[in-house]
Structure 1
Amino acid sequence: GSFLICRIVTPSKRTVAVQFGAEDSAGDVVMISLYNYPGTIGAKILALDTLFPLGTVLAIKEPTLKTSAAGGSGSVPHVRVDCPSDIIRLTSETPLASRTIWRTGERVPLAPEPPRTEESWKAIGNKYFQSDWFTSAAIAYSTGLTRAPSSQVLRLNRAMTYLKLGHAGAALSDCDHALAQKELPSSLRVKALYRRAQGLYGLGLWGEAEIAFEATASEFPSEAVSCKTWVEKCRKRRQETETGSYNWLEMYTASLSKARRLDVADYKGDIEVVGLPKRGGGRGVAVTKDVIAGQLLLVSKAFVSVFPDDYDPPEILLIQNLITMSVNYGCGASLGTKVAERIAGDPACARLVYDLYAGPTLPPPPSTYVLDRAPTTGAENYLEFDTPVDIARIEGVLSFNAFRPSGLPLPSEKESDHPSALFLLPSLFNHSCNPNAVWVCYGDVMVIRAMRDIPKGSEAFISYRPGDASFIKREENLRHYFDKCTCELCILDRADGEAACKRRETL
């Protein structure tokens, strides 16, 4: 395929996309519009300057020149990049970059001199880390590792950064790499052991994490107090996932605060994913035993979530969704970038997203769904992709599966202020306007319970839209998901005739 070699020659700006001017080797300048790039949603200008500094050399795969959707005489052509894996950062040692002769000179005016040593990359990575610019810090540590691949200091600093970014699998991989080295100093070994245990915890491997924290405390008694706290958390998470026993009041209270990402384990009750060829997506969720009303069926942490107060100052973004032919506001506009960001840092989890239903225009998902992850492997360089990020699939999945993880909304809430999240197993539940199960969210945690007794082998349904709405409103709201709802309530309403339903609408 084709690619464009270019280098950044202007500072960056951001709305939904990050934009900057870039020149090719002949000195021709074009605007680059980069969408869905990790670390850019909510990023301040100073942070963008660290992500895309002047003089950075990029290779853009299959570049596409476009004009603004608004059109008009003022429309400026730009290269639009939707997929973060279509961008490759090149260093001066990269053959493609070293062979390029720039007509305008070897260096871009005002471009910073890139660090050359392990210590300088460590210093700049630490500076970004302390500023909470974790994506920039991970890139800095990764670039330093290309020059000093045996530096376990850089590797363990990157592991800590990965933990901050939520990339537990990548952190675990870096720690395992460090621990495999002979004669690792004790000052680094304790960090590797402790962060490895945190990585296991982040992956939901509660039993392995508990053992790892206990081993760390045994080898390094100075860490005993902090490890004990983590061990207690591991045991609590194991109890939750094995028994479905939660502190519901604590979860509810936490969901009312800004700490909306709760530290709880997933729980799967007496349910299983079954093949249902006549359903959209070809699957559904059935109960494996007789279930009584009120019984807990599922507790699920969001794969990713976005809340209005995640960004300071608050931002109202909007993008055109060409799948639903509607506008995604606020949190919904940035959810796709968050999914791409997680997959970029933890490629092993990509299948969990790609195996969800993504609409009728994309290939159907498999007839089964397994929550087990692929084996964890870390990228040697952050944001260098062995497998492309499938943005089209992500957008399709979100168009049909995104939830609004909020409790009862206040009347004053604006549409753009609603949080948005992707839940994995809850996305497999099919809809009924008269459901036998109900869902509610505490922060980024969804809880699904049976509303009434459900016989063994029967399908469990939830409602995508409130069933107390009129038939006309329900049909309008559900048209995005399927042509006609076939639940019992809609069949009865439809039998009453269109005229009767319209009269009810006016009551």
Structure 2
Amino acid sequence: MEELVRSLRNLGLAAPRGEQIVSLVDADPRTEKQLAQELAVPARVDAQDDEDSAAAMVDAALLSGATEAMLANYNRVLQQNVEALRQERAACDTPKQVKRVPLKALLAQQNAAIRRRDAEREAGTQGDRMYIPRQILDTEHTYYSTRPVTALTRIEFDELVAPKRFDGRYVIVRVASPLSLYVSCSFVGEFACGAALPISIAYFTPDLKLHGDELNAMLPEGTVLLIREPYLSTHYLGVGGPITSSKGITGIRVDTPSDVLVLDADDPLVTGLSWPTTRTPAAPAHWRQEGPLARAVQHQLAQPDAPPALVVPDVSREAVRATIRRFLAHDRPGAAWREWLAAERIGVWSPSGATGADDALMHADVLLALRSYADADAVLETVPLEERDAAWTQRKADATAALDFGQHGPTGATLERMFAATLADATPRFPYAEFHGPIEVADIPGAGRGLVLTRDVEPGELLLCCRALGSSYSADAACDGVPLLRVNIDNGVTSTTTQVLAATRCIHAVLDRPEWATAFLGLTAGPDVPYSSFVREPYPLRTRPLAGDAAIASGTQAPDVSAAYVNGVLRFNAFGPAATPAAASGNDPMSRSTMPHLLPAILNHACLPNVSSVFFGDMVTTRALHPLPRGTQIMHQYVQGELPYDTRQSLLAKHGFRCTCELCMLDERDGHEALHKRQELLATTLPPLVDRSRALLNNAALASADAHREVAEALEALAAALHATYDSARGALRPDVVDVLHRAAQHAAAYDVAHAMSLARAGAEATGAQLSAHGIARLPSVHLDGAIQCLLTLARVHADDAEECRAWVDAAVATHDAMIGGGAPLFVQRYDPGEYEVLQALV
């Protein structure tokens, strides 16, 4: 990718964007040719001057051939890298001795890589905007260690062969160079014998923009690392590094951060080593290193039979605060908590909080970051009245709001604000406690785990409101302007920016807070992946921070994390709601968010669900759609029920099951031939009718009744053809016809109000809803927005009857409130009164 981008920019062309990035890996020659034509348009084609634009188009025609050659070279290099990884796998049976390369030569290579990254940043930065697309490869053949260091033995450089994974061994190296970050992070590692090797660590950081001193502070030169069961690769940057035409380099490829330990200078594993040169780190490592007080206490706790004397590092109170602030800034609340507890244990400050408001506020900040809102609130209450300033008031408000949310669920006003934030903010995250209604985890025969009700519930009742762990947006400051495409060479799965960075965030979250391991790694990673050990443990409804010595000790007991398993968990469990703000991103595949919601992830699927799940930024709410008795398993949609049957089953196939919900059984009863005919009608007949309908509705003031009649009759003819594909005993549930009937009703309203009413009612009932004379008796189960639009159309055709009109508007609002919540204010935000004039009374 970097070579392609450099070549394009050298010709004054723009780097690929959005769909173009995804199209790069499409092997179809027609796609490649079209992509070359798109990329060949010079940046100045957007000029307003007609003469400049014409000249630019001529340039584009001349550049098209050159661009095709660039893409051909890109594909050749990509295939070379893919083949190198495959050949390396085959060569593992016959590894060869690793040759020593002079440290000076390795440092020169590393400095050259850093210069390339710097040049890439400079070329991709225009003003204060950055755009640097990146691409990496992935493979199913990655590694992670499950053995403690005590079960391993050290291996020295002269024993190394490649390619090979060294089971039962570990290496100790010092960081001997500055760091270079592409997606994985690379540096030169120096052995005690004086030899050196390049090293890359995958999932090093979710901040793809780190560079220079800020990046080097993560692992300063001189930092000593222990790598468990290292993999010696002949193409060490092949996973997570840039795809280039350069020859593969032998080095250590670390596939997960959990295999790397940062060692103190006085660690027994280090003190016996004699290094040929002096290389003392200027400061402690920021990457996965505990605070100095936590390390001291952890050392003592690990030796319960040792004398009780504790060697306390010479740190000031302000130094402790600075360490905690740094941990919080780097999204490491677990490390901040352990340092706080260690400081209490040592006596840096009093556990009672009597040391002053500043310490209490910091204590509260740590607890808020841990999502421990009740404890944060209690700490804030210890601050004397005379010391409660604006900072205290803000934190108190945050804790109170979060607690209230978790105890009672969101109010309508809160949901309204949350929805408004998703329209205006590209990275909406909400600091609220999770709300759990009357649900519990249960084993479901033939379906693994699921959630069941502990009491009867009514339609619209809130059952869950959960917050994501490791949420990732393409507009996050750490990756905005650095779109990323990952291609797995074994299963063909492509992943974009947020999927890769959500994996990174989740790995580091579990390493920072081991108590998250059961909830996250307790999810399954797909039908073909063996369960992790955590899957067999009871699944927690809530994850709470550890306390006391157990919390401090957890910093040395981080779980062994398989990055491949984490990616599987995200692929099969994480939600991928639409881009935020939705209107600003269109259908750009690189703008999708990735939301790992842990408890909602164990909800099982039904195309015809009994609950509605709705996203508000990084939170998802789940509400009952119908009266549900105690013991009912709540089921939501992995794929939309209004999609054609074959499409639904195809999308669900990756989960390893065939859906047998009521809707799927009805579709199957219709028969294969009918299903095929229905899908053909929707794919071929409907789109041109939708285009005609949209054009007519957008110019309603100029359209005649005859024009509306013509379109309505064409839509009704399509609806009749669709109805003919349903079994005669099927009933009203026919989601495929909802949009067709709704559009037909909109046009029929121009010449036959009674007929429009009939069409709109039929459209609403096709969603599973049941209508009364003037409202709704049973909520829809599928195509929920389609049902609401039909209700609004019923209100519109009764515009001359204020009472009847208001009854149907109220029915639409009540349906929306049961599905989403937020009352009339949120309803008006979602359904523009300018489009639905019948809503003006609600504004």
Same fold (TM over 0.5): yes
Residues 326-385 of structure 1: per-residue CA shift (max 9 Å, x gap): 111110011111011112222222222122223342226237422243624555797x55
**Correspondence for 1:369 among 533, 539, 555:** 539
1:177 — aligned with what?
Answer: 342
- The match for 1:114 is 281
**Which residue of the partner structure matches residue 796 of structure 2?**
none
Percent identity of equivalent pairs: 25
Counterpart of 1:437 (choices 583, 591, 611) is 611
- Of 449, 458, 469 in structure 1, the residue corresponding to residue 632 of structure 2 is 458
Compared CA separation, residues 372 and 56, structure 1 to 2 (3 A): closer
Give the whole-Å Cα distance in 2 for the aligned partners of 1:340 and 1:202. 17
Q: How many residues align?
A: 479
2:645 — aligned with what?
A: 471
Give the equivalent residue in structure 2 for 1:331.
Answer: 498
Question: Is the aligned partner of 1:302 residue 2:302?
Answer: no
Q: 1:62 aligns with which of 229, 245, 266?
A: 229
Question: Are residues 1:267 and 2:439 paired?
Answer: no
Alignment of 1:193-272 (within 5 A): 193-218=360-385, 221-246=386-411, 247-256=414-423, 257-258=425-426, 260-272=428-440
Residue pair 1:173, 1:378 contacting (<8 A) in 2 also: yes
- 1:265 Cα offset (Å): 2.2
Secondary structure of the structure 1 residue equivalent to 2:631: coil
**In structure 2, how many angstroms separate the alpha carbons of the residues matched to 1:333 and 1:183?**
40
2:322 alignment partner in structure 1:
157
Could you tell me how far 1:187 is from its partner in structure 2?
Answer: 10
CA distance in 2, matches of 1:396, 1:137: 25
Structure 2: distance between partners of 1:249 and 1:259: 17
SS at match of 2:655: coil
The higher radius of gyration belongs to 2
Comparing 468-477 and 421-430, the one that deviates more: 468-477
- Is residue 429–residue 462 contact of structure 1 (8 Å, CA) maintained in 2? yes
- Is this contact kept in 2: 1:321–1:327, CA < 8 A? yes
CA contact (8 A) 1:336 1:395 kept: yes
Q: Which structure shows the higher helix fraction?
A: 2
Of 203-212 and 139-148, deviating more is 139-148
Q: Sort the Cα spacing of 1:22 and 1:235 in 2 relative to 1 into closer, same or farther, 3 A.
A: closer
8 Å CA contact 2:371, 2:433 repeated in 1: yes
Query: Are positions 1:288 and 2:454 aligned together?
Result: yes
Write out aligned runs for 1:79-90 (5 A): 79-90=252-263
Residue by residue over 1:19-48, the C-alpha shift from the partner in whole angstroms, topping out at 9 and shown as x without a partner, is 222233344433212012346544234422
- More displaced stretch, 315-324 vs 205-214: 315-324
Q: Verify: 1:448 aligned to 2:622, yes or no.
A: yes
Structure 2 residue corresponding to 1:396, chosen from 559, 568, 580 = 568
Structure 1 residue 460, shift from structure 2 partner: 1.1
Q: Structure 2 counterpart of 1:197, which letter?
A: A
- Three-state SS of the structure 1 residue aligned to 2:417 is helix
TM-score (norm 2): 0.52
Counterpart residue identity of residue 403, structure 1? F
**2:286 pairs with 1:136:** yes
> Any stretches of 5+ residues in structure 2 without a counterpart?
1-151, 153-168, 297-310, 682-843
Contact conserved, 1:305 with 1:422, CA < 8 A, in 2?
A: yes
Distance (whole Å) between structure 2 residues aligned to residue 71 and residue 162 of structure 1: 35
Deviates more, 1:259-268 or 1:329-338: 259-268
1:324 to 1:216, Cα distance in 2 relative to 1, 3 A: farther
CA distance in 1, matches of 2:295, 2:230: 29
- CA deviations on 1:413-442 (whole Å, 9 max, x unpaired) are 321220102111101111111111121211
CA contact (8 A) 2:466 2:621 kept: yes
Does the Cα contact within 8 Å between 2:291 and 2:339 map onto a contact in 1?
no
Q: Structure 1: where are the runs of 5+ without partners?
A: 116-120, 126-134
Give the 5 Å matches for 1:392-431. Answer: 392-406=564-578, 409-410=582-583, 412-431=586-605
Aligned counterparts of 2:382 and 2:634: Cα–Cα separation in 1: 43
Alpha-carbon separation, structure 2, partners of 1:144 and 1:428: 35
Q: Give the aligned partner of residue 6 of structure 1.
A: 173
The CA deviation at 1:57 is 2.6
Secondary structure, counterpart of 1:421 in structure 2: coil
Bigger fraction of residues in strand = 1
- Mean CA deviation greater in 164-173 or 451-460: 164-173
Give 1:403 shift. 0.8
SS in 2 for 1:422: coil
Given that residues 578 and 593 in structure 2 are in contact (C-alpha distance below 8 angstroms), is that contact kept between their aligned partners in structure 1? Answer: yes
Question: Using the alignment, how far apart are the partners of 2:337 and 2:266 within structure 1?
Answer: 28
